[in-house]
Amino acid sequence: MEKTTIQEILDYFKLTENHSGASTGIKWEPGEGSIIVSKSPINSQLLGSVHSCTESQYEKLAEQALLAFGHWRGLPAPKRGEIIRQIGLGLRESKEMLGRLVSHEMGKPLQEGLGEVQEMIDICDFAVGLSRQLYGKTMPSERPQHQIMEQWHPLGPVGIISAFNFPVAVWSWNAMIAWVCGNVCIWKPSEKTPLSAIACQKIIAKILKENKLPEGISSLIIGDKTLGERLAKDKRIPLISATGSTKMGKAVAQHIGERLGKCILELGGNNAIVISNKANLDLAIRAAVFGAVGTAGQRCTSTRRLIIQRDVVEEVKERLKGAYAQLKVGDPLDENNHIGPLIDQEAAKQFESAIQKIKELGGREVIAGSILEGEGYESGCYVHPGVYELDPSAEIMKEETFAPLLYLIPYETLEEAIALHNNVPQGLSSAIMTQDVSEAHLFLSAIGSDCGIANVNIGTSGAEIGGAFGGEKETGGGRESGSDSWKAYMRRQTNTINFGQTLPLAQGIKFDL
């Protein structure tokens, strides 16, 4: 498989012709909409093109999803789990090819592409186990011969809006849980990575067809942000799970709020690692560098800020210089390289613009960030990561630049570090590097990190599917993937059962006729 070409990957998933951006699971609607082109940021190679989903196609697809929901919710949860088990097997069979496709289309290193598919497999396994654990509660009633219990029921069609940086994994976090809970799914992927989504839909379609399941359990719509708005406004879709920028999330939330729908929002991050003078600096540097440059800084959990105790600032800076000097930027399919390209030239321009702004604000260069040119960098999407010292009150510190830029901030006391850490609008992931138990527990306490994720002696990036994933403040407050996140994909129903022959009222109220 080492010499697998992109053409072989496209042939494997039958992606060599124009595709429609609308599928109800097994069938593909004829191409009708405008053309969306997929080019690899690695070398600007044209990978394929997709017809965007039209309004009429969307209407047909939404109605089909409602019909499919009527069938799917009636299957026992363990039967739904069996279908997801088969999906997991399908992903295992296609892991190498799908991982390579993700790397080609998005530009992330091959090991990260393969790791993304492994996350999909893992969430399938999680959902299979969950299919026998959708527990409710029973509780005592104040009335004799009465029983109170809670049940959880499916919601209906779930809309999933995903981002380019994880073209397939984040969709699967939502879809597998939504499906095992009895919902059907309508997926709008990023228009920057449409082929990875189509490949997933084809894997799913094979399983649905083999099990003689109806159209509409898994639907795919591809288009620009107007299609996402259409999905968010649709009263037939009770839940929207959206991943992307804070700006996008606010617009989606507004549309959903106007119709009193439900939403799960996983939005921007501005993540920091606090490095104590009691840290193991070998661990700290490893965590900081991967967090800052992994996926070329295009993770919502990427490390943007290092808050460093003054006693170790200079040592951390020197170690960072040594580590960054070893980084290799280039073709992400070459496993000798650590960093691939940004998603497109526009992202590279935003990186360059941020560096210019840092300089205007008086930022001090520790490691120069730059756009790379020359042989191997012809796509214009490759950059060298940058590290800068900057006043923590600078506005750019509170913004998420989706690129490998890292800011260094000194602190005296841990209380000061926590205040600096929390003084941004976002609240996704955080970490402290320390060998001191008291420092670790303070950071994890109610007066510590205000993020949805807080780690000790690991970085901000690299969440496992077993834990609930999401953040606070402008990160949106939603949770997806593991733990009890499944409850967000269901509706709670309280039941009171009278198994006696009288009708006593609650709170001892008398109402005699």
pTM of the model: 0.96
How many CA atoms does the CB half-sphere of 47 hold within 13 Å? 32
Ranges of each domain in the chain = 6-267+476-493, 271-465
Tokens of 53: 């989903």
Superfamily holding 271-465: Aldehyde Dehydrogenase; Chain A, domain 2 (3.40.309.10)
What average pLDDT score do residues 68-78 get? 98
| Euclidean distance between CA atoms 421 and 402, whole angstroms | 19
Cα–Cα distances in angstroms (integers) from residue 466 to residues 125, 177, 314, 445, 483, in the given order: 10, 12, 37, 21, 6
Quote the pLDDT of residue 27: 82
Cα torsion 412, 415, 420, 421: sign: positive
What average pLDDT score do residues 254-269 get? 97
For residue 88, is pLDDT > 50? Answer: yes
The model's pLDDT over 2-27, given as tens digits with 9 standing for 90+, comes to 578 999 999 999 997 778 889 988 78
Q: What is the mean pLDDT of the chain?
A: 96
CB 488 within 8 A of CB 239: yes
What average pLDDT score do residues 139-160 get? 97
For residue 311, is pLDDT > 90? Answer: yes
Split at pLDDT 50, 70, 90, the class of 338 is very high
The model's pLDDT over 368-407, given as tens digits with 9 standing for 90+, comes to 999 999 999 999 999 999 999 999 999 999 999 999 999 9
Q: What residues act catalytically?
A: 266, 300
CB atoms within 10 A of CB 89: 14
Specify the higher pLDDT residue, 30 or 70. 70
The model's pLDDT over 418-449, given as tens digits with 9 standing for 90+, comes to 999 999 999 999 999 999 999 999 999 999 99
CATH code of the domain made up of 6-267+476-493: 3.40.605.10
Split at pLDDT 50, 70, 90, the class of 462 is confident
For residue 507, is pLDDT > 90? Answer: no
For residue 1, is pLDDT > 60? Answer: no
| Euclidean distance between CA atoms 438 and 71, whole angstroms | 54
Q: Mean pLDDT lowest for which of 218-222, 492-496, 503-507? A: 503-507
